[in-house]
Structure 1
């Protein structure tokens, strides 16, 4: 029973990390109808900047602020310079651009920061809570990760459902021509969408960093798990991204603990295929056409 509880708690923690990445993917999809495969590279860059602050004596909170601000700028620049020129072309063009951007960012990070993995300090203690004489594999830092992800999810849900900004972003993504007739600055909304998604990704990078080493390719697997979580929950549902991330984290934790860590990647593929076959739009998603 103790092993099952430890695996469940460990799965919730890793699942929260996947959910954070999934939230960033969902935000871009909801605002621009593009799957951003460069998200892993973008959060890697912002995490390296945060690491630079920490390595020079800055606090965890200052590094987090730097990551958020740099993500805001990076997201806006990427949309303006790389995505906008291809946004009216075939949908595959934007996907190719994001793949190219991922390779470019990883190459630049390798040249600037080197390929040596770096350790990143956690925001809170990593010693597990002790309950009834049993030390859980669940620490204050794990609790911090889960609370931040839930908070980000709630904030995104409020933005998209309760604010005029969210309504304009959604209208710009689904019906740009109609939105322009109604006075919506479609180009500006797309930029805002990418900027906010990069901010969420930057937060995810800082949350992930203490549990892995920071390097140009350290977040590739996390991006795959995050994308799977987004598909499970539904690419247009922030709550679905969180539920999908937590569910995937728990399932993979059980697979790793009971069957072995070597088949975790295979299990992820099985889960992804199963969801696409049973419910292609995800557990909380709705079917909708892509903007052309």
Structure 2
């Protein structure tokens, strides 16, 4: 029983990282209707900024916070000068452009910082906390706490502030919001900026667990996209719940299902995503869109 609880605890830790990036994907989709396949690479760019500041002598947390803040205008510029002209285009064209952004940003990161992996400093103390025989690393606890804080802040912003209400209005109906006098262009830029900040946070959380490299978020993007689709592309809470569930299920499957093991764990979210899309295309927490003819 202890082994199962240990796998669940480890799964919640990795699921928290998936959830951070899944929230960014949902945020962009709700604001603009675009699924940004370059979201993880944008986060990697921010993580490299944090690593650069740290290598210059800035303490790790101030470096991460500075990189998150710098990611906001980066995301806003991408929306204003790259994405905005695509809103009227076919969805397939938008997907191709965001995939192109992923490839281009990976090349830019490699050109600036090189393609070799680097060690990213730990964000939390080393060591473990043992509870009922289950070892919880401080990094796992830290990841979960960061996720809880992010979810609470986003919930307060979207539900309790005028800015959040305006963002939700633009997400629901951009044209009507413009007629009401809302600065839709600025709000769209803000949505992409916030998503870029979340992507940077996710990259900085995962970098100490692996190695910092231009392509380090590519696999995480698959899990985050699966979580966003499973939970519903218009549901931040659904994305978080689905990401945590994916982390737990893939850990349990890798440990106790012999033909899956470590190498086949990535098939778990893909299989879950396929099943949900067949049975409930809008996602577990998503709302079915009704179109009047």
CA shift digits 1:78-123 (9 cap, x unpaired): 0011001212222333222211111000011111111111121222
Matched, 1:57 2:54: no
CA shift digits 1:239-285 (9 cap, x unpaired): 11110110000001111212311111222211110111122111211
Matched, 1:96 2:87: no
When normalised by structure 2's length, the TM-score is: 0.94
Equivalent residues in 2 for 1:148-167, closer than 5 Å: 148-167=146-165
Matched, 1:82 2:82: yes
Structure 1 unaligned blocks of 5 or more: none
Once the two structures are TM-superposed, the CA of residue 181 in structure 1 deviates from its matched residue by 1.3
Task: Output the aligned Cα RMSD.
Answer: 1.6
Once the two structures are TM-superposed, the CA of residue 135 in structure 1 deviates from its matched residue by 6.0
**In the alignment, what sits opposite 1:106?**
106
Match of 2:247 among 240, 246, 249: 249
> How many residue pairs are counted as aligned between the two chains?
288
3-state DSSP of counterpart to 1:130? strand
In structure 1, distance between residues paired with 2:157 and 2:289: 20
CA shift digits 1:40-94 (9 cap, x unpaired): 1100100011111222222111111222122101101100110012122223332
**In the alignment, what sits opposite 1:47?**
47
Once the two structures are TM-superposed, the CA of residue 174 in structure 1 deviates from its matched residue by 2.8
In structure 2, distance between residues paired with 1:127 and 1:274: 39
In structure 2, distance between residues paired with 1:168 and 1:263: 43
In structure 1, distance between residues paired with 2:124 and 2:187: 36
Conservation of the 8 A alpha-carbon contact between 2:19 and 2:147 = yes
Conservation of the 8 A alpha-carbon contact between 2:42 and 2:105 = yes
Matched, 1:214 2:212: yes
Matched, 1:15 2:42: no
**In the alignment, what sits opposite 2:263?**
262
Conservation of the 8 A alpha-carbon contact between 1:255 and 1:263 = no
Conservation of the 8 A alpha-carbon contact between 1:126 and 1:142 = no
Once the two structures are TM-superposed, the CA of residue 126 in structure 1 deviates from its matched residue by 3.1
3-state DSSP of counterpart to 1:129? strand
**In the alignment, what sits opposite 1:178?**
176
3-state DSSP of counterpart to 2:263? helix
When normalised by structure 1's length, the TM-score is: 0.94
Matched, 1:129 2:135: no
Once the two structures are TM-superposed, the CA of residue 203 in structure 1 deviates from its matched residue by 1.1
